């Protein structure tokens, strides 16, 4: 079945997630869709699969205009989507997972379903037992199950959203073989990814999205540097690094291991120097967020050491396995990306936040003192609000500045998740200005960002993550955006 998307628009509040995107996918082809996080790939796929509706634009299947109001509609039309997070029912059996949402009578014929499932499974060399429970399957198997289910329901168009996240290498090979076979059977495949190597290996054509716009397409042979340029743009204004590097070490990370449901990270070694900024680059889910949380003491590593260097004689304390509060007591602060879920407390005013963050003086809250302190911080950090403003009434930029204003001295290590995500340029520059001051006072910064400009611009050194692997630290001055883009996309790893 041929799919045509014409001039699709979708807005979320102020964000124009899809800005007039058009795309045609022919039956029997694998269409790669590239773009960094937030480029509008997922939005378009959700529109095609009926999860959300477009503000305007047309969808044509085999040249005929269709309307899709719900996922049920798209399934009926033969469109199946494999979501990045498996949309299945973990505590239930495989066979029951197949039945939910299928056009079955009241009493489904399990034997027949199992037979059909096994036949389908044989075609693709999968081996999932229909009687096991989904929560005993690996992420890769759950994905296979979902593909089989969609095919079983008669999907002619398959959307695969970041399907290689969290699956093993052999499962990936199997998946790619499956995709090729499906294309050969005449299905139209939409392969959404930010991994260049995979897209290049698999797709018969690639489009690149950036900021809700279709930046153009390419057919093999692929020129990686062109693709990277289309994904990230190339205008980079280099400026001085944020911190003057000082040669004394502040932290040493040795043989750090982390095991997550999706990812195993092995033997990470690096050191953090006083006043240094380290940027962690990588597509979301590559392991950088886990490392950051381990450094903050929120995630317990399964092995290795996080040494804090104490004093000039080089004595060190191992913080690994210690309680999160111990990390805080040693001046390690974490600023989560989910500000209103993890960082700030909805329903509390700015002044109340400042009161909570300050060193307590006695039993009673000294209102005048808190009021004065709040006013001072509000001015210092240029927060648009009053001490009485509730935190959720502030804009994102003001919330972020408030978070910075909440950090208490002495600060040794500052861990930031997407410090400027969703902020306008002015706010972002302001935030980094404040962070720079902290570095001058001797604090170190480790941060994650999906904005490569930001990573290169503000870091002294950069670590790149890909599928749980960690690169050696690059000097930011020696790194180009093209090189970083290739590494992030999985190219150039030994």
By CB under 8 A, name the binding residues for other proteins.
9, 13-14, 49, 51-52, 55-56, 70-72, 75, 81, 83, 87-92, 96, 99-102, 104-108, 298, 324-325, 328, 334, 336, 341-348, 352, 355-357, 360, 363-365, 384, 394-398, 406
Length of the chain measured in residues: 494
CB closer to other proteins out of 58 and 252: 58
Residues 413, 249 contacting (CB under 8 angstroms): no
Instruction: Compute the least distance from the CB of residue 337 to other proteins, in Å.
Output: 12
CB closer to other proteins out of 212 and 490: 212
Instruction: Compute the least distance from the CB of residue 96 to other proteins, in Å.
Output: 5
Instruction: Compute the least distance from the CB of residue 138 to other proteins, in Å.
Output: 18
Show the CA angle centred on residue 332, arms to residues 329 and 334, nearest 5°.
Answer: 120
Token readout for 248 is: 């004394």
**Residue 75: which H helix or E strand, with range?**
helix 71-76
Which position has the token pair 């999205």? 209
CB count, 10 Å around CB of 431? 20
CB closer to other proteins out of 14 and 238: 14
> For residue 61, what are the β-bridge partners?
3, 64
CB closer to other proteins out of 203 and 415: 415
Nearest in space to 158 (alpha carbons), one of 191, 202, 204: 191
Residues sharing a CB contact under 8 Å with residue 44, sequence separation 6 or more, in sequence order: 5, 8, 10, 18, 21, 23, 33, 209
CB closer to other proteins out of 336 and 489: 336
Distance of CA 280 to the CA centre of its chain: 12
CB closer to other proteins out of 110 and 245: 110
- Say how far apart CA 475 and CA 75 lie, in whole Å: 49
- Say how far apart CA 291 and CA 259 lie, in whole Å: 11
Is residue 408 left, alpha or beta, with left meaning phi > 0 and alpha meaning psi from -120 to 50?
A: beta
What is the secondary structure of 15-28 as a DSSP string? EEEEEEEEEEE-TT
CB closer to other proteins out of 87 and 477: 87
> For residue 167, what are the β-bridge partners?
none
**CA atoms within a 13 Å half-sphere pointing along the CA-CB vector of 50:** 16
CB closer to other proteins out of 262 and 328: 328
Instruction: Compute the least distance from the CB of residue 249 to other proteins, in Å.
Output: 26
CB count, 10 Å around CB of 150? 22
Instruction: Compute the least distance from the CB of residue 333 to other proteins, in Å.
Output: 10
Instruction: Compute the least distance from the CB of residue 368 to other proteins, in Å.
Output: 13
Instruction: Compute the least distance from the CB of residue 482 to other proteins, in Å.
Output: 36
- Say how far apart CA 69 and CA 347 lie, in whole Å: 36
Residues sharing a CB contact under 8 Å with residue 267, sequence separation 6 or more, in sequence order: 255, 256, 257, 304
Instruction: Compute the least distance from the CB of residue 161 to other proteins, in Å.
Output: 12
What is the secondary structure of 415-446 as a DSSP string? EEESTTTT--HHHHHHHHHHHHHHHHTT-EEE
Instruction: Compute the least distance from the CB of residue 106 to other proteins, in Å.
Output: 5
- Say how far apart CA 328 and CA 326 lie, in whole Å: 5
Instruction: Compute the least distance from the CB of residue 366 to other proteins, in Å.
Output: 10
Instruction: Compute the least distance from the CB of residue 364 to other proteins, in Å.
Output: 5
CB closer to other proteins out of 93 and 172: 93
CB closer to other proteins out of 431 and 456: 431
CB closer to other proteins out of 333 and 457: 333
C-alpha separations of 289 from 120, 335, 379 in Å? 38, 12, 32
């Amino acid at each position: 079945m041929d799919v045509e998307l014409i001039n699709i628009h979708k807005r979320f509040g102020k964000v124009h997630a899809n800005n007039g995107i058009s795309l045609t996918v022919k039956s029997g082809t694998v269409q790669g869709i590239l773009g960094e996080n937030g480029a509008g790939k997922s939005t378009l796929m959700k529109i095609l699969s009926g999860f959300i509706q477009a503000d305007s634009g047309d969808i044509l299947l085999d040249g005929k205009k269709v309307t899709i109001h719900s996922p049920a509609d798209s399934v009926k039309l033969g469109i199946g989507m494999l979501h990045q997070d498996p949309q299945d029912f973990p505590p239930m059996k495989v066979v029951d997972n197949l039945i939910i949402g299928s056009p079955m009578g009241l009493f489904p014929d399990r034997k027949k379903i199992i037979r059909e499932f096994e036949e389908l499974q044989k075609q693709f060399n999968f081996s999932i037992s229909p009687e096991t429970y989904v929560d005993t399957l690996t992420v890769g198997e759950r994905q296979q199950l979902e593909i089989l289910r969609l095919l079983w329901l008669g999907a002619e168009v398959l959307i695969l959203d970041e399907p290689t996240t969290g699956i093993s290498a052999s499962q990936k090979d199997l998946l790619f073989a499956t995709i090729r076979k499906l294309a050969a059977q005449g299905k139209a495949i939409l392969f959404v990814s930010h991994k260049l190597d995979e897209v290049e290996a698999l797709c018969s054509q690639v489009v690149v999205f950036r900021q809700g716009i279709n930046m153009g397409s390419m057919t093999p042979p692929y020129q990686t540097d062109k693709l990277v340029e289309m994904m990230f743009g190339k205008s980079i204004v280099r400026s001085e690094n944020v911190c003057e590097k000082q040669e004394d070490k502040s932290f040493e990370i040795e043989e750090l291991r982390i095991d997550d449901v999706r990812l195993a990270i092995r033997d990470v070694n690096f050191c953090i120097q006083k006043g240094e900024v380290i940027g962690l680059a990588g597509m979301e889910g590559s392991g950088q967020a886990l490392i950051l949380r381990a450094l903050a003491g929120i995630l317990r590593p399964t092995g290795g050491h996080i040494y804090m260097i104490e004093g000039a004689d080089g004595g060190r304390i191992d913080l690994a396995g210690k309680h999160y509060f111990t990390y805080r007591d040693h001046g390690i602060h974490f600023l989560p990306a989910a500000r209103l879920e993890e960082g700030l407390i909805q329903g509390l005013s700015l002044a109340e936040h400042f009161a909570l963050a300050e060193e307590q003086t006695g039993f009673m809250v000294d209102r005048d003192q808190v009021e004065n302190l709040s006013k001072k911080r509000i001015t210092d950090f240029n927060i648009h609000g009053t001490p009485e403003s509730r935190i959720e009434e502030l804009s994102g930029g003001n919330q972020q500045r408030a978070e910075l204003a909440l950090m208490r001295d002495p600060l040794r290590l500052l861990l930031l998740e997407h410090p400027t995500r969703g902020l306008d340029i002015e706010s972002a520059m302001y935030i980094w200005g404040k962070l720079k001051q902290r570095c001058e006072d001797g604090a170190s910064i480790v941060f994650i960002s999906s904005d490569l400009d930001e990573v290169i611009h503000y870091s002294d050194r950069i670590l790149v993550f890909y599928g749980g692997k960690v690169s050696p630290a690059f000097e930011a001055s020696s790194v180009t955006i093209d090189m970083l883009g290739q590494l992030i996309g999985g190219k150039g790893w030994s």
